[in-house]
Amino acid sequence: MVPDPSRSIRGGAIASWSGAWQDKNLRAALGYDIDRPWRELSPAARNWILFTDEKPVVTVEPEREPHRIHRPYQGTYTSAERLLLRALPNTCIPRRARCARADVSNPNRSR
């Protein structure tokens, strides 16, 4: 699911994420450094981000243009694997091709 581990989460390391919403959750509420290269995150952090079954509800502070409303909202974090498996059958062809390159198998996955 991470084709280029030199990228950060904000830089698009996780192939199945469009970026914006998950970035805000990870940065603002869950405490992960989304600007650090993926390979520099701890193995436990990488495993949790990709495979957790937890679905924490977090307060997200939107980052928007000055003329838009900046009201915080509640969002539910979904792991990259869960998002990929849910979205893949219903997604557009270019995104499906991108996601198909993401390997959801992980022999080191802990549950």
Kindly report, residue by residue over 5-23, the tens digit of the pLDDT: 999 887 888 877 765 555 5
The dihedral sign for the CA sequence 32, 106, 93, 88 = negative
* Structural contact between residues 38 and 7, judged by C-beta atoms closer than 8 angstroms: yes
Report if residue 45 sits inside a domain: yes
Report if residue 109 sits inside a domain: no
Q: How many domains does the chain have?
A: 1
The pLDDT of residue 107: 46
Which domain does 80 fall in, by range?
Answer: 1-61+73-103
Which span out of 10-14, 33-37, 60-64 was modeled with the highest average pLDDT?
Answer: 33-37
Q: What are phi and psi of 69, to 5 degrees?
A: -70, 140
- Residue corresponding to tokens 């957790």: 52
Q: pTM above 0.75?
A: no
CATH number of domain containing 89: 1.10.8.280
